[in-house]
Amino acid sequence: MKSIQSTLKQWAKSTGLKERLDKQREELLTDPYIKAFIRENKDSVTNEMIDSGMVKLYEFKKERRACANCPGLKECPNMMKGYQPSLSIERGHLELHYLPCALKVQEKKQKEQSQLMKSLYIPKDILSARFEEIDMDGERGEAGAAALEFALKANPGEDGGGLYFYGKFGVGKTYLMGAVANELFDRGIESYTVYTPDFFREMKQSLGDGTFQEKLDTIKKAQVLILDDIGAETTSSWVRDDVLGAILQYRMLEKLPTLFTSNYDYDELEDHLSYSDRGGIEELKAKRIMERIKHNTTFVTVAGHNRREKR
């Protein structure tokens, strides 16, 4: 009785399979990427490796050719979209691996960077602000210079000093903060910009759905936190002590910079924070909050006209 192996050999001869395999082998070995791999590993690659690794070499050739004619990440035809095949020798055999291509690496980097600049209730035009678009010689020149200096030198975890931008309604305080956030983004530093009144309202609502602590931790642990329009919120002891106080205390201890914009100066904000929804004045508690703000910010006046009004 003939063995299975001899039967297969006889079948291969009769069907011309060997000739077809030899031809396929020759074609594979003319592929420039396969030739380059063999040349780089000429002291290690054997004919036996090539013969036993034909399927992997064919897959490598097909996928690598698709990479050479890359149609873009969205249209990538490879089995693993965005991944490029790579050959190696392991334990005397050819092995095929897939590594992220340059476009996939770039996409991942962009996704990671997009997490660096977060916002809550901030208009999109503010988030696209750039220092190049700000007239540094105009009315906002001094404030713009202070903002730019902070953005270029900020060092969260080592220096917790921030800024307190004071000015009338519509003079461009928030826009300057948007430019700061974008500059920090370019430096790979995370920032979180929030419109304070809406944020405090959300924090109050989060008590009912059990997300309060998670949201509080996200804000207080941001590398750079920008609290926009502080003082515009309705005063309550809970907001002042359990939300704002907790955020500022943590950030002061961890040396994480906090920036503020407000229509109130330091003294006016202290008066605002001293009012209690329970009635009466709580000056001491307001002073405690203000001491944390004053100690960790530089007061900057933003001058100019109301840019939201037609002139």
Residue 162: CB atoms within 10 Å: 21
Residue 133, pLDDT score: 87
Domains in the chain, CATH or no CATH each: 31-105 (no CATH), 115-301 (3.40.50.300)
Q: Say if CB 47 and CB 63 are below 8 A apart.
A: no
Pick from 230, 249, 246: nearest CA to 238? 246
Rg (CA), the chain: 32
Pick from 217, 233, 196, 232: nearest CA to 122? 196
Residue 123, pLDDT score: 85
Give the containing element (helix H, strand E) for 93: strand 93-100
Residue 3, pLDDT score: 59
Residue 246, pLDDT score: 96
What mean pLDDT is reported for the chain? 87
Residue 256, pLDDT score: 98
Residue 1, pLDDT score: 46
Q: C-alpha distances in angstroms, 200 versus 177, 197, 267?
A: 19, 5, 21
Indicate whether this model's pTM tops 0.85: no
CA distance 298 to 294: 7
Amino acid letter for position 47: N
Which residues are registered as beta bridge partners of 61? Answer: none
Give the containing element (helix H, strand E) for 127: helix 124-127
Classified as helix, coil or strand, 119 is strand
φ and ψ at residue 292, rounded to 5 degrees = -65, -40
Residue 5, pLDDT score: 55
Assigned token pair, 99:
């590594």
Task: Give me the residues of the chain with pLDDT under 70, please.
Answer: 1-18, 109-117, 278-279, 307-311
pLDDT in tens, 208-240: 888 999 999 999 999 999 999 999 988 789 999
Residue 118, pLDDT score: 80
